[in-house]
Amino acid sequence: MDVERCVRAVQARDERFDGWFFTAVLTTGIYCRPSCPATPPKPENMRFFPSAAAAQQAGFRACKRCRPGAVPGSPQWNERADLVARAMRLIADGLVDREGVPGLAARLGYSVRQLERQLMAELGAGPLALARAQRAQTARLLIETTKLPMADLAYAAGFASVRAFNETVQEVFAVSPSELRTRAKAVDEPGAPGTRTAGTRTAGTRTAGTIVVRLPFRRPLCPDNLFGHLAATAVPGIEEWRDGAYRRTLRLPHGHAVAALRPAPEHIECRLALSDLRDLTTAINRCRWLLDLDADPVAIDAQLGADEVLAPLVAKNPGRRVPRTTDPAELAIRAVLGQQVSTAAARTLAARLVTAHGEPARDADGGLTHLFPTTSALAELDPETLAMPRSRRASVRALVTALATGDLELDVGGDWERARAQLAAVPGVGPWTVDLVAMRALGDPDAFVATDLGVRRAAADLGLPSTPAALTKRAAPWRPWRAYAVQYLWATSDHPINRLPSD
């Protein structure tokens, strides 16, 4: 790492670098986020680590003031598609807790030794240490925001035993779990993203499986297109906009959940009703992925804003994110259903699938009734029941079959290029669908839907080439952020996807 740049970021308390690296202080034995409000230490007393796990392995404990675990994740894991980035996305999704390091290595197609060597070389910690650091942060979150007994809490955070839970909390935070809970206040602490919202600890009517957390992000963030897109394309039964929040059902490894995401100036409020608390970490990270909260808007907007055509759009509403998905297979199926039809028609078709084949889900607070159907459930689908042209019915059937058999793999830890090739091989799936899935399901920041009608109309209105080939060539300076350029181009229309819904 560039030590001088890190020192300047710490001395400036620059929050843009939170999550990029962690600062350890030799004289105190603690590690902090770059924006820690404490007086910056002398440069000779600073040591820098690429991950919280590496700092912990070096013997440093987390700062009690700035809570370095409660920061946005490094943007690198969203921007890159190499082994380390793919591994970090899967670790964040809780794969190591569920399947261990061998399961992670198998999913990535590498040996355990190769995987550990590459993670150690870049992050200073292996997959077990990285997963352990994540469990510690989840444990702190549960300790401070719930009334769960410590034994249940340890289990929910992913620890194999109460002893391992106690030892990890003591080592990472330098206090016992009970001391952490005693210190926790009953109201919000300003500047402490990731903690509870007001009243969570005293709301005795809430079930043990309902957690309210803050999701931090790098500023600026434009919520209009992000929540506007999710609300405008919401499929009845699995998604809705209610009381100023986007709500949807989630299928998780140990059960299901209902997530309610509400934008606020400094964070996203995330309310999770979980059927199994072991899914908390996975649910939080899937919500972060859905809202693209680990993006680096300053770097993205600086490059796009250097283009004289995009500059006014970036200046008007900086910080646009790419609305993603919590289920890549779901988005791929919905993308094929939505080929060459309106947003309303696509919602209707998807809603019929949900009603006929989705698994019922409980929602105590709203109108959510189902989980989106699994690929195995849809494999039994009679294409003749779909109200669409015969060729598209065949495409839906072929896509579902490829997903169900494993011939098409779409997940956050997948290889982007391989997934693109597999998707393009599905009959009836063209460039628009491939790029849309790459952008919103795989998270490729450079995916560019040059054939999209809205993008082409915006390009024409702005004086850009409107044919796909010419527009793709003109968009070369926008790389590797063309997926974000799409959001700015879409924003030139008056479509509901660009407006934050009114209650």
Catalytic residue ranges: 32, 452
Find residue 252's DSSP bridge partners.
255
Which residues are within 8 A (CB) of 302 and not within 5 positions of it... i.e. 6 or more apart? none
* CA–CA separation, 231 and 239 (whole Å): 8
CB 309 within 8 A of CB 463: yes
Which residues are within 8 A (CB) of 119 and not within 5 positions of it... i.e. 6 or more apart? 84, 87, 125, 126, 127, 130
Strand order in the sheet with 268-274: 210-215, 268-274, 255-263, 245-252, 239-242
Half-sphere exposure of 332 (CA within 13 A, CB side): 34
Amino acid at 331: L
* CA–CA separation, 286 and 294 (whole Å): 12
Pick from 399, 194, 164: nearest CA to 285: 194
For residue 208, the Cα-to-chain-centroid distance in whole angstroms is 24
Pick from 101, 98, 100: nearest CA to 118: 101
Strand order in the sheet with 61-62: 46-49, 22-25, 30-32, 61-62
* CA–CA separation, 249 and 326 (whole Å): 9
CB 225 within 8 A of CB 494: no
CB 304 within 8 A of CB 314: yes
Token pair listed for 359: 């698994």
